[in-house]
A and B are shown apart, each in its own frame.
Chain A
Amino acid sequence: MRKLCWYFFVSLGVLALAASFALAQIGTVKGTINDAQTGEALVGANVFLERTAFGAATDVNGVYTIQNVLQGNYTLVVSYIGYEPFRQAISVKSDRTTTLDIKLNASAVTLSGVVVTAIGTRIEREKMGTSVSSVNAASLATVGVHDVVTSLEAKGPGIQTLESTGDPGGATKIVLRGARSLGSNQPLIVVDGVPIFSGNSIGGGLSGGGGVSSTVAAESRINDINPDDIESIEVFKGPSASALWGSRAANGVIVITTKSGGQTGSKKLSVTVHSKMYADQLLRPYPLQTRFGQGIDGVYSSSGLRSWGDPIWMRSGAADSLQRTNYDYAPILKKNSTATFDHAQDFLRDNALTADYGVTLRGGDEWSDFYLDFSQLNQTGIYLTNSDLHRTSIRANATRRFTENIIAKVTASYVKSSTKRVQQGSNASGLALGGYRTPPDFNNNPYLVDFISPTGTVTLGVQRTYRNASGDPKGTPGFDNPLYMINYIPTQLNTDRLLGTAELTYEPAKWLNFIYRVGADYYTDRQFTTFPPGDANNPTGFTYRNANTNYMFNSDLLATANQELTNDVSGTLTVGFHLDHRRTDNTNVGATAFVLLDAPATFSNSLNYTPGEALTITRSAALYGEASFDLFKQVYVKGTGRMESASTYGPDAKQTYFYPSASVAWQFSELPFIKENLVKDASIFSFGKLRFAYGEAANQPGAYQTKTYFGVSNPQNGWGEALRGTQYTGGGTSRSTSLGNSLLGPEMTSETEFGFDFRFLNDRISLSASKYVNKTTDALLAVSVAASSGYTSRTANAAKMENKGTELQLIAEWLRIEPFSWTTTVNWSQNFNKVTDLSGVTQVNLGGFVGALPSAVLNQPLGVMYGTRWARNAAGAVLLDTNGFRLVDATSGVIGDPNPIWRAGLINTLRYERLTLNVVLDISRGGKVWNGTKGALYSYGTDKDMDMWTTITAAQAASLRTWSGKTPSQYISASATQKRFYTNADGTVSFRGKIGNLGGPDVILDQDWYNLGPGGGINGAPTEAFMEDGSYVKLREVSLSYTFPLRYWGMQSATVSVTGRNLAIWTNYTGVDPETNLGGTGNNIGIDYYNNPTTKTWIVSLQIEY
């Protein structure tokens, strides 16, 4: 193989040498670009010669210069956002300068006319046979987020995002045109033509991201791309557009192009100083009750687990009476205080500020250009401490033209990021879990006490929680006090990352070029977490260190030839050869049982430590090609093909797969008949294009699933009990319960897409529509296998899935009365996913809780909630017990679909001279969420809904029954001291609860039902009982920006903007946010279980250009 590679490169070298001997005949193209109406110079407009690498951008005076152009005839194309595209034929002569001054007409179309393709070349949008969504630098500047994915929210149809957490640097889930895989549905991220790592940082002991029991919110490595560096983002939503990336492209491809220098006219250097200030706040506090205290059966208990205690308003308000006087936090004998505390917010800080500042240098001349940016982001989370994100980013991009036909380009970026995170989720240390469960009459301060025993012995620094309110060191915390957790259980991730590309372009002839491009992405991710002794999860303390090193290398050699065959037919042919090598390397150690409790939590201070490691190397190699033809300046045909092998396929499977694609775009408005009759002056119908595309792409299986392995025996059950072979004489090994599959191959997705793009009223209204069907066959599935076979799972190409969807985009400039304009963009998309084959398996768990499992189920959308239900008879009627209370079914079934029915983005842009107001609404309709937080808090009695006080007549008290089957009268007569039912002077009875009807006779819904029975989540409520509609409308973004010339002290211009993100939400969902998801970016969506809450943000931004 290596020999062949060498042969290939030597051939290239010979060819290059031969061509350089040819005498070059070169000329220059230059001119200015201005707004046709105002005459204002247009800065940063892209000018290029079609089907060549020659191009430039205009400087601050609107001047462009394209140097060293080989003699010949070209089509010059100008694209500039907000203006109509411009094309004109020009002739370049040796040693001459061709001058072309251009005036552009404003257009309602706010998308760039040029798209960077999946392999890094450029194509005019109007020639594309697929629908591509784009985001440009100007939009990124006002959107005010720290990462690429979040910036895409509501920006295009078919882009589904889920901003599941408000923690700094939290990963936002993105899926394009529906799930195609039971594994990752994350699109491939390609930066400057080279793929990068874009998964989440996870590790065993931290397990952020992946599993539902993740203990901290996931951090996405996409965060390492600084949005300030991005020139454009193109979203290729499926195989019909992304097939050229073959076995990595089934989920679509997001192509990111970073900024380049460009000539700056008379000045050789331009300097931009940019800074932003952010202020984050909690979006919505969880609703909690504050009227009933800690305890059970209506009686206060200072050690009570639940909040079914006494009515706080009935207390005297005097000081509490304590068991003993030598200690302020001695057990409370009688609770008298009526003070209450807001445990949904008492862990928040007042000012969660973020500073993001930097400086950019750009410059260049006719031979070279460079871009240099330094940015620093310091974000503070909304919690009191130990929640932040710091990112230092340096990027240098440079291009150098060595001779007229050899261009070298280097892009390089170094990013150092660190983030601190707080515990969340189903976790005794979880912030919300401990917080929301705390009784309203318990003060979480102080969270650390010096305990004094009855005999006066002092123990310093003990955690105090509501379940151990004295801080007795012999007690157990139960759940960590959220304030203690925030202060004493830090989790930190530190990343150092280098990524970049090097690219050499050689153009031996005007119609021919070669590009050799390599890209490397290398990062280390070191993770730390420490639980001190006395923490709820780890009584003896726990510390964990996890070091990941990831390396990816990509190499692409491309040859492109283009030729005008006749006046009406021209074509381009690209052939490429790709190699990639990916390596992930992990070492971790977890330690428990610290010897010196107040010494640092180090391994040498630990009695027990367990190391772990993992190493994967995967490779793929591909040969690919693309042929496109322009016919009669109205039909654009493109075909691509990729042949690819990968190291992850089973030895008995096919080793090389072919991924084809084809597309046709027909600008029928160019037909002479239509052009002359219908289009005419474009005042009604100005443009029409029909398009059709088909493509196939795949996802590779993970490494090493083709064999069955043996390892150290480490059986564990679902409750935490575990044994480990290393601890027993001679060691114990077990065969993996995961059966290797020698027939494993890629999961193939094919997609058919068709649609149209119409424009009306001089392009002031544009309408695009697409319909697509994508089908995944051979989907990779960890098929559960009957344990009685000896295995519990096997990864196989065993599932089938399909998505059918519709995407609409309407862009309308309603109003233009110079200098005012109002443009509305509507993105609407609908996707129906269906799992069409699971190889006979009824249900596949995608990661959840017992009883609440997001699953793949045959003929259901991926991710449906599979869980426990109310018992029903064959006719579907709910079954009741003899007293009229619902019964729970012993078996599980599908209880809801978390996928939205449709989504829409509504973007209104109002401009008045240089003032721009942008308002973005994100709308999601349908989609069920399991509000497990609420279910559990019903049991705990702290949910706002548990604030109930009902008075019933004596007759009702004698007849209505609680879940235990007793009437209030029976409770009252059974015990003279009971406090659950109060007999009033008039004979009526008051109690905490309400009268309900569950389908039979009226019943009393009170502590018996919510805490003991299946009315509450902890003690047996079926999952179905807490499924809620997750529809929402979010005010994603409101930004007001103003750019003004500022020609003092060397300044050129200044832009000021104010942005609000996620300022408001309209939803019937009763939890913190219907977007919240403990599954993070996984396929396990719709799980709300004590996730850290989401935030809203205010951003002030200032950018000054010198």
Chain B
Amino acid sequence: MRKIILVLTVSIFIAGLVGCEKFVSGFDSNPLSPVDASASTTFIGAELNYVLFTEAYPAFVSAMWTQQIHGADRQFLQLQTYQTTTDDISNDWNIAYAGALSNLRIVQGKCTSPALANLKGAAEILEGLHMGNVAALFGDVPYSQAIQYPNLTPVFDGQMAVYTAALGVLDQGITDFNSNLAPLAQDMLSLAGVGTRWVKLAHSAKARYLMHTARSQGYSATVLNQVIAEAQQGILSTTGSEDANATHGTVQSQNQNLWYSFMVVDRSGYMDATVAGTFAIPMMQARKFDGKSNEAGRLGFYFNSTLTNLNTTTTGAYAVSASYPIFRASETHLLIAEAYIRLGNTASALTELNNARTYNNSVFKNTSTLYVASDFATPAALQQAILNETYLSLMHQVEAFNFMRRIDYAISYKDSAGTTKTIAPTRGTIFPQRFIYSTSEATTNPNQPAVPTDGLYIRTPANR
């Protein structure tokens, strides 16, 4: 009997030693999830992440801080008066990098054949457009070492270097897309995958970011001429037909306009838009006093009839399935206009300002008439008009905040009595100068610079 027990015990051991690992092997892959995906579907995924970053929370905050909307409740009441902590932006910082940039890089990595140069180009163009914006908002950010596993703690590059790199990747995107202008298989932007339209977007984006860097170079003729050169190859159609927009549908939490989703579905009451709570609404109301402008169309497009909130009806900017602008032709024209006026070329500047007004008449059903040279007593007056129009043309976009910081919030309007009204901070005496860094990066990447207590008010290098 003891022998049998011995045999039995030994056999249990052998069974155990040999069998344990075999019994458990083959169950380590999730049966419902793939470990790879195609370049063209991943491109859509990258676009969705890009759009969520560009259209939603950072745009809400930008709109509050440029007083194009008003924080009315809860955290948005705090944000309205510049009370923000590093926690607030963590989610969107993660979307910007792990969502948008990461998937754009995956797409680029998969597009090795010339047949996919168009897709590679689109991914590069979107990357440049995105990273220029990220640098504008946060200042120094990770880029040269970003998205390069196994490096989990990329260094933070200087803001100016990121601009340079973003301009470089936009150039690369233009080159790649031009080498194969076949339409993309899929595209969630209104560009519908058309190569020439993507290239125009790239040129407009280059003009925008060159202008971002111009202030630190004293608005030198060199950089202003580059802005003009790029912009003239950009999105210019005054009918809006070349604009880049994010497209939306009616499905809750899936493809609705993200402003509609916030204002109606998710966080009703957190923000509103009143005459007293905004600068943009009284500014648009007062425009008619110049005798040439009628903003009724644009005012009604963005805001409701009682001027208490955004227009979320079917005809409004924030209808459930309304498209959201990524880049409007008016911005390109105004970039050219600003460059010309800073170069002293008032005639060309006026032409471009009028192009933007034509765009507004066409797209928003404004009924303004065109300005003539005598409408502006001085070049400075024309320049102010260009800046004021840019402020309104970038309505509810992150770029409005980038723009306002670059020009030190120097916008104004004249009320019915002819008194000049300027924008004032909602609390204290200074305006926000950036988005502060996120907690999520602070706790994981020792390379992130510390945020001083008054960090929100420290200018990014481009605006010093």
Chain A: residues with CB nearer than 8 A to chain B?
1, 4-5, 7-8, 11-12, 15, 18-19, 305, 476, 478, 508-509, 512, 539-540, 557, 559, 561, 575-577, 579, 592-593, 607-608, 610, 613-623, 643-651, 655-656, 703-704, 706-711, 713, 715-735, 737, 739, 784-792, 840-843, 850-851, 868, 871, 888-892, 1018-1020
Whether B268 and A7, one on each chain, are in contact in the complex, defined by CB atoms closer than 8 angstroms, is no
A512 to B6, alpha carbons, bound, how many Å? Answer: 12
A271 to B17, alpha carbons, bound, how many Å? Answer: 49
Whether A646 and B440, one on each chain, are in contact in the complex, defined by CB atoms closer than 8 angstroms, is no
Closest A residue to B247 using CB positions: A728
Whether B258 and A15, one on each chain, are in contact in the complex, defined by CB atoms closer than 8 angstroms, is no
Residues of A within 8 Å of B251, CB to CB, are 608, 724, 727
Residues of B within 8 Å of A622, CB to CB, are 16, 20
**A615/B11 contact (C-beta < 8 A), A786-B441, A1019-B78 known:** no
Whether A721 and B154, one on each chain, are in contact in the complex, defined by CB atoms closer than 8 angstroms, is no
Give 28 CB contacts A-B under 8 Å: A608-B251, A615-B31, A615-B32, A623-B12, A623-B13, A623-B17, A651-B28, A713-B48, A718-B57, A722-B254, A724-B48, A725-B41, A727-B255, A730-B186, A732-B45, A732-B188, A737-B98, A787-B98, A788-B145, A789-B98, A789-B152, A789-B153, A789-B154, A890-B84, A890-B453, A891-B86, A892-B86, A1019-B78
> Which B residues between 159 and 218 are near A, CB-CB below 8 angstroms?
185-188
Whether A710 and B37, one on each chain, are in contact in the complex, defined by CB atoms closer than 8 angstroms, is yes
Residues of B within 8 Å of A891, CB to CB, are 85-86, 439, 451
Whether B23 and A787, one on each chain, are in contact in the complex, defined by CB atoms closer than 8 angstroms, is no
A717 to B23, alpha carbons, bound, how many Å? Answer: 42
Whether B8 and A786, one on each chain, are in contact in the complex, defined by CB atoms closer than 8 angstroms, is no
Residues of B within 8 Å of A730, CB to CB, are 40-41, 44, 185-186
| Interface size band for B | 35 or more
Contact partner, B98, options A592, A792, A871, Cβ 8 Å: A792
Given A608-B250, A621-B24, A786-B445, output 10 extra A-B contacts at Cβ < 8 Å: A476-B268, A618-B27, A621-B21, A707-B35, A732-B44, A735-B102, A737-B94, A737-B102, A784-B440, A790-B149
**A656/B266 contact (C-beta < 8 A), A608-B254, A733-B45, A890-B436 known:** no
Whether B441 and A788, one on each chain, are in contact in the complex, defined by CB atoms closer than 8 angstroms, is yes
Closest A residue to B13 using CB positions: A623
Residues of B within 8 Å of A8, CB to CB, are 11-12, 15
B222 to chain A, nearest CB (A): 32
Whether B261 and A720, one on each chain, are in contact in the complex, defined by CB atoms closer than 8 angstroms, is yes
> Which B residues between 264 and 299 are near A, CB-CB below 8 angstroms?
264-269
- Chief secondary structure at chain A's binding surface: mixed
Contact partner, B149, options A1, A619, A739, Cβ 8 Å: A739
A548 to chain B, nearest CB (A): 15
A614 to B16, alpha carbons, bound, how many Å? Answer: 31
Residues of A within 8 Å of B86, CB to CB, are 890-892
Whether A643 and B41, one on each chain, are in contact in the complex, defined by CB atoms closer than 8 angstroms, is no
A480 to chain B, nearest CB (A): 13
**A717/B91 contact (C-beta < 8 A), A615-B32, A786-B153, A890-B451 known:** yes
> Which B residues between 81 and 97 are near A, CB-CB below 8 angstroms?
83-88, 90-97
* Cβ-based interface call for B444 (8 A): yes
Whether B264 and A722, one on each chain, are in contact in the complex, defined by CB atoms closer than 8 angstroms, is no
> Which B residues between 213 and 228 are near A, CB-CB below 8 angstroms?
none
Closest B residue to A727 using CB positions: B255
A730 to B193, alpha carbons, bound, how many Å? Answer: 13
Whether B97 and A703, one on each chain, are in contact in the complex, defined by CB atoms closer than 8 angstroms, is no
Residues of B within 8 Å of A789, CB to CB, are 97-98, 146-149, 151-154
Whether A737 and B99, one on each chain, are in contact in the complex, defined by CB atoms closer than 8 angstroms, is yes
Residues of A within 8 Å of B5, CB to CB, are 512, 559, 561
Whether B12 and A734, one on each chain, are in contact in the complex, defined by CB atoms closer than 8 angstroms, is no
* Cβ-based interface call for B423 (8 A): no
A644 to chain B, nearest CB (A): 7
Whether A787 and B7, one on each chain, are in contact in the complex, defined by CB atoms closer than 8 angstroms, is no
Residues of A within 8 Å of B68, CB to CB, are none
* Cβ-based interface call for B326 (8 A): no
Residues of B within 8 Å of A723, CB to CB, are 48, 51-52, 254-255, 258
Whether B48 and A643, one on each chain, are in contact in the complex, defined by CB atoms closer than 8 angstroms, is no
A222 to chain B, nearest CB (A): 26
Counted as pairs of residues, one from A and one from B, with CB atoms less than 8 Å apart, the total is 342
* Cβ-based interface call for B56 (8 A): yes
Residues of B within 8 Å of A737, CB to CB, are 94, 98-99, 102
10 nearest A-B pairs in the assembled complex, by CB-CB distance: A623-B16, A732-B44, A720-B266, A713-B45, A786-B445, A734-B45, A647-B27, A788-B142, A790-B102, A727-B255
Residues of A within 8 Å of B458, CB to CB, are none
A841 to B88, alpha carbons, bound, how many Å? Answer: 19
**A621/B48 contact (C-beta < 8 A), A561-B5, A732-B41 known:** no
Residues of A within 8 Å of B15, CB to CB, are 4-5, 7-8, 577, 623
* Cβ-based interface call for B114 (8 A): no
Whether B249 and A727, one on each chain, are in contact in the complex, defined by CB atoms closer than 8 angstroms, is yes
Contact partner, B265, options A5, A720, A725, A734, Cβ 8 Å: A720
Contact partner, B28, options A706, A721, A850, Cβ 8 Å: A706
A1011 to B16, alpha carbons, bound, how many Å? Answer: 66
A728 to B148, alpha carbons, bound, how many Å? Answer: 28
Residues of B within 8 Å of A868, CB to CB, are 85, 87
A715 to B91, alpha carbons, bound, how many Å? Answer: 10
> Which B residues between 51 and 91 are near A, CB-CB below 8 angstroms?
51-52, 56-57, 73-75, 77-78, 83-88, 90-91
Contact partner, A621, options B16, B42, B142, Cβ 8 Å: B16
- Binary per-residue interface labels of chain B (226-256) against chain A in the complex, 1 for a CB within 8 Å, 0 otherwise: 0000000000000000000001011111110
Whether B152 and A786, one on each chain, are in contact in the complex, defined by CB atoms closer than 8 angstroms, is yes
Residues of B within 8 Å of A726, CB to CB, are 254
**A788/B97 contact (C-beta < 8 A), A4-B19, A478-B269, A732-B48 known:** yes
Closest A residue to B102 using CB positions: A790
* Cβ-based interface call for B4 (8 A): yes
A711 to B35, alpha carbons, bound, how many Å? Answer: 9
Closest B residue to A649 using CB positions: B28
* Cβ-based interface call for B46 (8 A): yes
* Cβ-based interface call for B352 (8 A): no
B182 to chain A, nearest CB (A): 16
A890 to B152, alpha carbons, bound, how many Å? Answer: 26
Whether B20 and A733, one on each chain, are in contact in the complex, defined by CB atoms closer than 8 angstroms, is no
Residues of A within 8 Å of B262, CB to CB, are 719-721
* Cβ-based interface call for B420 (8 A): no
* Cβ-based interface call for B464 (8 A): no
* Cβ-based interface call for B30 (8 A): yes
Residues of B within 8 Å of A1019, CB to CB, are 74, 77-78
A473 to chain B, nearest CB (A): 15
Closest B residue to A561 using CB positions: B5
**A720/B102 contact (C-beta < 8 A), A1-B19, A512-B5, A734-B49 known:** no
Whether A790 and B146, one on each chain, are in contact in the complex, defined by CB atoms closer than 8 angstroms, is yes
B48 to chain A, nearest CB (A): 4
Whether A710 and B27, one on each chain, are in contact in the complex, defined by CB atoms closer than 8 angstroms, is no
A1090 to chain B, nearest CB (A): 15
* Cβ-based interface call for B9 (8 A): yes
* Cβ-based interface call for B374 (8 A): no
Contact partner, A729, options B28, B188, B443, Cβ 8 Å: B188
* Cβ-based interface call for B372 (8 A): no
* Cβ-based interface call for B449 (8 A): no
A720 to B152, alpha carbons, bound, how many Å? Answer: 28
A119 to chain B, nearest CB (A): 15
* Cβ-based interface call for B330 (8 A): no
**A721/B258 contact (C-beta < 8 A), A647-B28, A715-B95 known:** yes
Whether B146 and A4, one on each chain, are in contact in the complex, defined by CB atoms closer than 8 angstroms, is no
* Cβ-based interface call for B47 (8 A): yes
* Cβ-based interface call for B398 (8 A): no
Residues of A within 8 Å of B148, CB to CB, are 789-790
Whether B17 and A643, one on each chain, are in contact in the complex, defined by CB atoms closer than 8 angstroms, is yes
B456 to chain A, nearest CB (A): 8
**A709/B35 contact (C-beta < 8 A), A11-B8, A647-B27, A721-B262 known:** yes
Whether A791 and B102, one on each chain, are in contact in the complex, defined by CB atoms closer than 8 angstroms, is yes
B25 to chain A, nearest CB (A): 7
